[in-house]
Amino acid sequence: MTDLPSGHVTFLFTDIEGSTRLWERDAAAMWAATARHNDILSDVIRRNRGHHFKTIGDAYLAAFAEPADAVAAAVTAQRELAVEPWTQTGSIRVRMAVHLGEATPVGGDYVVAPCLNRLARLLSVGYGAQVLLSDIVRRRVESHLPDGVTLRDLGRHRLRDLLEPEQVAQVVVEGLPSTFPPLKSLERHPTNLPIQPNPLVGRDAGIRELKDLLSREEVRLVTLTGVGGTGKTRLALQAAAEMSESFDDGVFLVDLAPLEQSHLVLPTISATIGVRESGGSSLRDALVDHLSPKRFLLVLDNFEHVMAAAPVVADLLGNCERLNILVTSRASLRLRGGHEYAVPPLAVPDLSRLPPLEELAVVDTVMLFLQRSAAIRPDFALTPDNAASVAAICARLDGLPLAIELAAARIRMLEPASLLGRLDRRLKLLTGGARDLPGRQQTLRATIAWSHDLLAADEQALFRRVSVFAGSGSIEAAEGVANTTDDLETDVLDGIQTLLDQSLLRRSVGPDGEPRFAMLETLREFGIERLAEAGEPPGAGPALVPPWTVAPASG
d(CA 408, CA 406): 5
pLDDT at residue 545, rounded to an integer: 34
Q: What is the Cα 69 distance to its own chain's centre? A: 33
For residue range 107-149, what is the model confidence (pLDDT) as tens digits?
Answer: 788 876 778 888 998 998 899 999 999 999 999 999 989 899 9
Tell me phi and psi for residue 164, to 5 degrees.
-55, 135
Instruction: Give the mean pLDDT of 260-274.
Output: 93
Q: Which of 15, 446, 43 is nearest to 257 (CA)?
A: 446
Q: How many residues does the chain have?
A: 555
Q: Determine the straight-line distance between the first and last CA of the chain, rounded to whole angstroms.
A: 40
Residue 106 forms beta bridges with which residues?
Answer: 109
In one-letter notation, the amino acid at residue 174 is E
d(CA 538, CA 467): 10
d(CA 320, CA 275): 15
CATH, domain 455-544, list 1.10.10.10, 3.30.70.360, 3.40.50.620, 3.40.50.1390: 1.10.10.10
Is pLDDT of 36 > 90?
yes
Q: Span 204-342: which CATH code?
A: 3.40.50.300
pLDDT at residue 390, rounded to an integer: 96
Percent share of the chain, pLDDT over 90: 48
For residue range 355-400, what is the model confidence (pLDDT) as tens digits?
Answer: 999 899 989 999 999 988 988 888 899 999 999 999 999 998 889 8
Contacts of 30 by beta carbon, 8 Å cutoff, 6+ apart: 19, 22, 23, 89
Q: Which of 443, 366, 362 is nearest to 402 (CA)?
A: 443
Q: What is the Cα 545 distance to its own chain's centre? A: 42
Instruction: Give the mean pLDDT of 525-534.
Output: 81
Contacts of 271 by beta carbon, 8 Å cutoff, 6+ apart: none
Among 215-224, 315-324, 386-395, 441-450, which is the least confidently predicted range?
Answer: 441-450
* Residue 472 CA neighbour count, 13 Å, CB half: 18
Percent share of the chain, pLDDT over 70: 89
For the CA atoms of the chain, what is the radius of gyration?
A: 27
**Segments making up each domain of the chain, as ranges:** 7-185, 204-342, 357-447, 455-544
Instruction: Give the mean pLDDT of 321-345.
Output: 93
3-state secondary structure 453-496: CCCCHHHHHHHHHHCCCCCEECHHHHHHHHCCCCCCCCCHHHHH
Mean pLDDT of the chain: 85
pLDDT at residue 484, rounded to an integer: 56
In one-letter notation, the amino acid at residue 521 is E
Q: Span 7-185: which CATH code?
A: 3.30.70.1230
pLDDT at residue 285, rounded to an integer: 93
Is pLDDT of 472 > 80?
no
